[in-house]
Structure 1
Amino acid sequence: MNIKLARQMKVLIVDDQVLAKGYLKYSMEELGFQDIEYVDRASLALSAIRREKYDLILCAYDLKQEQEGYFLYDQLKEQNELPPSTAFVFISADTTADIVHSIVELQPDEFLAKPFTVKDLDRRLSRVLQRKQALKPVYDLLEHDQFDPALNEIEQFLTEPKNAEFFPLALKIKGELLQACNYIEQAKEFYQAILNVQNFTWAQLGLVRCYIQLNQDEDAEKLILKLAFEKDSMLAAYDLLSALQIKLQEFDDALECVSLAGEISPRNIHRHRQAVELSRLTHDYETQFEAAKKVVKFAKNSIHDKPDIYLNVARAGIDFAMTADEGQTSKLIKQSNEYLRQLKASFPKADIEEQIKVIDARLLYLQDESENARELLGQLNDDTWITESIEALLDKAKAFHEVGLQEHALNILDIIETRCKNDPAQSTLFLHYIRQERSEKAEIQMSPKALNNSAVIQYQQGDLAEALKTFRQAFTLMPKNPSIALNLLQATALEMRDSPYRDDNIQALLHNCMKTIESAKLNQEQERRYQRVKSVLRDLS
């Protein structure tokens, strides 16, 4: 360690273990650091960082109080409170795969696994601080979003041979700056030139981003699939692939990618939230509920831990219950109520009375108390529509539609769409979902729960045409439900047998029904029915 450099550094250590702090104090002083501040909580670290500018932050990943170091760093990055010139180093005794993936994904300046020696600390910190010092003029410009001057500064930096040991990092920053300045074609040529010399992962990922922005989707997909098999680029590749699939409106495939990445690095709450959005679009209510539960689980004691996430998981449980088989409904109602109990325990002063009424009305409807549900919805205050959150309004629209107040539901969805259009922070994915919801609720008057019951009655009464129409509507809203798929497949097979007429889309419909059925676990009676229907379809073909 350069003693002169160490003495210039202002250091913050965030650790709540007495022995670890003692060892770090000894080690840092051995290396020449003098200006050192210690805190044992993430909240105290946050206050300190807002008050002072530090050159180096050493943070324990596994803080036991309040929140993990993971969420401290996540919050600093999300709220843009960590200057690029500040070195952030994680320290962790836990090196299990999901922890390592979570840390690497956050891209701190360094990661030290406990136990480590003074020599290890010296080597790692020397490297980090020297490159921060060398690139400080660039980082100072980045701190103030001065991307064009920063690009000029980095190009000047790359002309000086004395900086040769920092050239790989400087080149990476240059590529990012070209993209930040929207010089996408130039960035693409830059990354291709780098890859002609050395196969850096960061250059390959940068090139994929350029391909996507330039609508060169085939090239992007080809390179992403290659990167998905590399350990150090797997998560980034999944994210880029899901972004490409969303752009191409291949939402089922995007959900699969996001879910896989969420399993590898489970602490990434943004990814679980995206899984919620995608599963709503694809009518995958079970995945929506599971992703919403993960948001609550991993947000505990972080900036993401707010009343809304508990409300959203209860709503997702109700959405799932509306489309689930009868045996699952009571279990899902119980789980939704448990999350509401957790909400009230964690946030006793939260102003959520209106939102709880809507959820209670939906729960009453699930328990076949439609009149009581309507009465409860009648107590709501329409004047709050303008100030309510979009998720609260969306839940109202669903509740009104379920009890038969379709026009009321459509009016709310119109308000949501207008607000989404005027809010640049709102994702295009969510806007797409709202438009889909409005279209479906305008066309289909019944709730998912009522559709299948109605179709079964029509089928039993011999009204095959109406039953088929209702089963199709049910399958539109519940494409992952094997009971619905089997009912629709059976009704379609009968129609094909009794009538020479063939719908142009019939093969796609049959394929989708069979895909849902074969990916589910059927009971014995369902399996027998399915084999009979398949036999009929074979004879018809």
Structure 2
Amino acid sequence: MINLEKALAGRRILIVDDLVEARSSLKKMATILGGDNIDVATDGIEAMSLIHEHEYDIVLSDYNLGRTKDGQQILEEARFTQRLRATSLFIVITGENAIDMVMGALEYDPDGYITKPYTLNMLKERLIRIITIKEELRKVNKAIDLQKYDLAIKYCLEVLDSNPRLRLPASRILGQLLMRQKRFQQALKIYSQLLNERSVSWAKLGQAICIFKLGDPNSALALLNRALVDHPLYVQCYDWIAKILLTLDKPLEAQAALEKAIVISPKAVLRQMELGRIAYENGDMVTAEPAFKYSVRLGRFSCHKSAKNYLQFVRSAQALLINPKERQTQNKANEAFRALTELKQDFSDDKDSLFEASIVESKTHLKMENLDEAKRSANDAEDMLAKLECPKIDYKLQMTETFIETDQSVKAQKMIDELKSAELSDKQIIMLNRLDNDLNGEALKRHSTSLNDQGVSHYEKGELEEAIIAFDQATHYEQAGISVLLNSIQAKISLMERDSPDKKILKNVRSLLIRIGEIAKDDERFARYSRLRKTYDRLCRAAAK
């Protein structure tokens, strides 16, 4: 066992706790135990600022740090940004009983836990145990810090030969090092030898990963599922089950695996992002929307914060905006708009993200049947597109689609003409052709509407023959709506009521009724349709006499 006072002396220590009493108490205890170079942070943001500024030997962080980064996110970011050396210690202090918090922090491999409440002696014993193991593996971890992985592997093997007591931690590091170098056969041997003697969850996971990497996904899946029988809360098994299922082209099963992992540990932002991505591709927006929403929330104080998360949240929310008049839909839309506002503020220097945000915002307004706001957002996107030095072809296609959706056909046509002279992929050519057809369809629809307006004007003046000519031209287009078809029927029926039933006109009315089909009783046009249908039937009987 080490001498704790000597072990702490001269080492740079960081204590993180948002409660002043707890922070002061822990600093006092650490000082009594030998610490003489101690910094303190009051929240996760301050902690990360200090970690980026200094190299700490020991970090003692409370798990729950209020509204900013928590202990898990500090550990995650410190490892992700490589500001936490392998020789350093990260110890989580927690009084939380919630399993999602504990499991979440466990995923990022803290060196140990200290559970509240604790006394000075309890802290001392825990630190001695944790630091002793770390010191005995110092040569290994120092080689890792220097990125001398072959040397680290050599030292691991020496530890395994000379110190059986360290077999578990040394085997774990050795397996990870071998997999880092893609030496999966050797790593598999390490894990398998250990598992022949005892059941260790991380060794089962490592064994399954190696078998998968060596080309046997089905055996790997079987191993992972057996591991979950013995260790049902080991969430990384679910992560790897999902990865393997995706390679087997089973995205629905992969999604189900991640959903189980989320129940156990919902605070892992990368897992929420992956669940959202897979569910979105599966067309399951009911699952994708909350996953992206949670990844946005978790990512606010995380190194994994990204504009893409915000955009994906809003895109998935759009699919759930079914009835704009319902309160629930309005609330969801407001959440989406708030997310876009936050994106624009936090990523104000990212022109690409601002362009995509304006496009997504326009589409969201359209879902809420607010054309004026949709057009305003589309114009914002147009302004952002003009500011991009070399805008992507896909951006121009998105802009074209948004112009069409917001009834800006002149701008859409100009963009289509420009794109026709660009070098496009097969996928982009297909989309451009679709947009060209959509634009032509919209033009025909507007032309049909114009003809319908002419017909209505003639009908109101009693000019039935002229009205019928205009309505016939309008109904010639497939884009003609039910109201246009009903107008044409009414003009023809009015003419026959004024003059006499005409079999040729009745035949034309019949074809229009067939085009309309059945109208639901709750449709506001149902009463008019029923009245015209009865009159048509009466005129048919009269013509048959």
TM-score, normalization: structure 2?
0.68
CA separation of 1:371/1:345 partners in 2, compared to 1, >3 Å: closer, same or farther? closer
Counterpart of 1:23 (choices 22, 25, 46) is 25
Which residue of structure 2 aligns with residue 359 of structure 1?
360
- Whether the 8 Å CA contact 2:296–2:310 is kept in 1: the answer is yes
The corresponding residue for 2:287 is 287
- How many angstroms does 1:109 deviate by? 0.5
Q: Which amino acid aligns with 1:164?
A: P
Match of 1:519 in 2: none
Matched, 1:274 2:250: no
Residue 316 of structure 2 is aligned to residue 316 of structure 1 = yes
Q: Identical aligned pairs, as a percentage?
A: 22
Aligned-pair CA distance for 1:296? 2.0
Question: Could you report, residue by residue, the CA deviation over 1:300-348 in whole angstroms, capped at 9, with x for unpaired residues?
Answer: 33334455543432232224437x8996765543432243345567778
Do the aligned residues in 2 keep the contact of 1:142 with 1:150 (CA within 8 Å)?
A: yes
Q: Report what 2:453 is aligned to.
A: none
Task: Give the alignment's Cα RMSD to 1 decimal.
Answer: 4.0
Residue 481 of structure 1 aligns with which residue?
none
Instruction: Determine if contact 2:201/2:234 at 8 Å carries over to the other structure.
Output: no
Alignment of 1:48-197 (within 5 A): 48-64=50-66, 66-160=68-162, 163-197=163-197
**Aligned residue type for 1:358:** I
Whether the 8 Å contact between 1:14 and 1:45 is mirrored in structure 2 is yes
Q: Which amino acid aligns with 1:127?
A: R
Q: Deviations over 1:40-75 (max 9, x none)?
A: 233332233233322211011112364222211111
1:20-52 Cα deviation digits (max 9, x unpaired): 123212322332333322222333322332333
Kept after mapping to 1: 8 A contact 2:171/2:191 = no
Structure 1 residues 85-484: aligned runs within 5 Å? 85-160=87-162, 163-231=163-231, 234-305=234-305, 307-321=307-321, 330=330, 332-343=332-343, 354-367=355-368, 377=378, 380=382, 382=385, 399=402
Instruction: Write out aligned runs for 1:27-46 (5 A).
Output: 27-46=29-48
Q: Distance in 2 between matches of 1:293 and 1:343?
A: 13
| Cα distance change, pair 289–186 in 1 and its aligned pair in 2 (3 A) | same
Instruction: Mark the CA change 1:356 to 1:237 in structure 2 (over 3 Å): closer, same or farther.
Output: closer
Separation (CA, whole Å) in 1 of partners of 2:372 and 2:28: 70
Distance in structure 1 (CA, Å) of the matches to 2:392 and 2:304 = 16
Q: Which has the larger radius of gyration?
A: 2
Distance 1:174 1:341, change over 3 A: closer
**Letter of the structure 2 residue corresponding to residue 262 of structure 1:** I
Q: What CA distance in whole angstroms lies between the structure 2 residues aligned with 1:71 and 1:394? A: 38
Report the equivalent of 2:9. Answer: 7
Contact kept, 8 Å, 2:347 with 2:354, in 1: the verdict is no
Q: Is the 8 A contact 1:61 1:68 kept in 2?
A: yes
* SS of aligned partner of 1:112: strand
Paired with 1:34 and 1:23, the residues of 2 have a C-alpha distance of 15
**Stretch of structure 1 that moved more, 175-184 or 203-212:** 175-184
Relative distance call for 1:183 and 1:355 in structure 2 (3 A) is: closer
Question: How many residues are aligned here?
Answer: 429
What amino acid is the match of 1:365? L
Using a 3 Å threshold, how does the CA distance of structure 1 residues 301 and 50 change in structure 2: closer, same or farther?
closer
Q: What SS class does the counterpart of residue 62 from structure 1 fall into?
A: coil
> Shift of the alpha carbon at 1:388?
6.8
Structure 2, gaps ≥5 residues long: 443-477, 479-521, 523-545
Counterpart amino acid of residue 362 in structure 1:
K
CA distance in 1, matches of 2:45, 2:273: 24
Q: Which amino acid aligns with 1:247?
A: T
User: Could you tell me whether the CA contact under 8 Å between 1:66 and 1:301 is conserved in 2?
Assistant: yes
What is the letter of the counterpart of residue 11 of structure 1?
Answer: I
Contact 1:361 1:373 in 2 (8 A): yes
Deviation per CA, 1:216-251: give whole Å up to 9, x if none.
Answer: 112111111112233465301101100111111211
Aligned-residue offset at 1:349: 8.1
Structure 1: state its 5+ residue gaps.
419-434, 451-465, 467-524, 526-541
Change (3 A) 1:416 1:285: farther
State the Cα distance separating 1:210 from its structure 2 match: 0.5
The letter for the 1-side match of 2:87 is S
Once the 2 structures are TM-superposed, how far is the Cα of residue 259 of structure 1 from its aligned partner? 2.0
Q: Secondary structure, in 3 states, of the residue corresponding to 1:182?
A: coil
Higher relative contact order (CA 8 A, sep 6+): 1
Distance 1:272 1:402, change over 3 A: farther
In 1, Cα distance between equivalents of 2:396 and 2:267:
28
